[in-house]
């Protein structure tokens, strides 16, 4: 069980956002989900979460850029980041240092959960 572990999720597709939120809440995580980079920034609290899950293609930004930026905040830089991407190709490339893991869409929900547990352990 993962009591009080906090996950921030940024994903623009509402169905996928709901899907991931549902899965994580079922596992006991507290999930803050956003559809845009803007709303994510506005709501980001100073307390560091246990995990960021970021979609790469966002309407007002790029998941990779956001992850790079997060690493520059002293209170956030040790927080693991999981990048999600529908773009096959990005998964082929080496993972940028700013992220800890990549997961490709469409994902297997078991695979996703396994990684989340691993990163928030």
Partner 1 sequence: MSTATFKALFETSPLGICMCDQDGYIKYYNESAANLWGRKPDVGKERWSGAWKMFAVDGSPISLDDSPMAQCIRLAKSFSSEEITIQRPDHSFCRLKQHPQLIKNEQGNITGAYNTLVDISHQNNIAQYQSVLSAIVESSDDAIISKNLQGVITSWNQAAQKIFGYTAEEIIGQSINKLIPAELHGEEKNIIENIRNGRKVDHFQTIRLTKSGKLIHVSLTASPVKDANGVIIGASKIARDISMQLQREAALAQSAERLSMINSIGRSISEKLDVHSILQNVTDATTNITGSLVGAFFYNMPTEQGDSQMLHAFSGIAADKFEGLKMPAKSKDFSKLFNATDIVLFDDITTNESSAKNVLFKEMPAGYEPVKSYLAVPITSGSGVVIGGLFFAHSRKGIFQTDHAELIAGVASQAAVALDNSRLFEQVSNLNSKKDEFIALASHELKTPITTIKGYLQILQKKEDDTVKLLFLNKCLTQVNQLNKLVADLFDISRIEAGKLHLTYEKFDLKEMLNSIVEPFYYSSPSHKIVLNYNTETVLLNADKLKIEQVITNLLTNAIKYSPGADKVEITVETSGQILKLAVKDRGLGLSKEQQKKIFTRFYRVEGDAHVTGLGLGLYLSKEIMDRHKGGITVTSELGKGSEFVVWMPL
Residue 110 burial by CB count (10 A; 0-12/13-18/19+): exposed, middle or buried? Answer: exposed
Residue 28: count of CB within 10 angstroms of its CB: 11
Residue of 1, 94, 97, 121 that binds partner 1 (CB under 8 A): 94
Beta carbon of residue 86, minimum distance to partner 1 (angstroms, whole number): 4
Given a contact cutoff of 8 angstroms between Cβ atoms, the answer to whether 7 and 51 are in contact is yes
Residue 27 CA: distances (Å) to CA of 2, 9, 33, 48, 83: 7, 15, 16, 20, 20
Residue of 6, 23, 48, 64 that binds partner 1 (CB under 8 A): 23
Site for partner 1 contains 42 (CB under 8 A): no
Nearer to partner 1, 18 or 43 (CB): 18
Residue of 47, 59, 78, 106 that binds partner 1 (CB under 8 A): 106
Beta carbon of residue 23, minimum distance to partner 1 (angstroms, whole number): 7
Residue of 1, 4, 78, 92 that binds partner 1 (CB under 8 A): 92
107 CB-near residues (< 8 Å, 6+ apart): 84
Instruction: Please report, as ranges, the residues that interact with partner 1 according to CB under 8 A.
Output: 13, 15-16, 19-20, 22-23, 57, 86-89, 92-94, 105-110
């Amino acid at each position: 069980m993962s009591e009080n572990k906090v996950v921030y999720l940024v994903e623009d597709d509402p169905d996928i956002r709901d899907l991931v939120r549902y899965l994580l809440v079922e596992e006991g995580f507290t999930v803050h989900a956003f559809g845009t980079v803007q709303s994510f920034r506005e709501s980001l609290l100073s307390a560091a979460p246990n995990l960021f899950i970021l979609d790469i293609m966002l309407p007002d930004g790029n998941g990779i850029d956001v992850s790079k930026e997060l690493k520059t905040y002293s209170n956030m830089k040790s927080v693991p980041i999981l990048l999600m991407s529908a773009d096959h190709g990005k998964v082929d490339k080496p993972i940028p240092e700013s992220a800890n893991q990549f997961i490709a869409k469409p994902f297997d929900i078991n695979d996703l959960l396994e990684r989340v547990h691993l990163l928030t352990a």
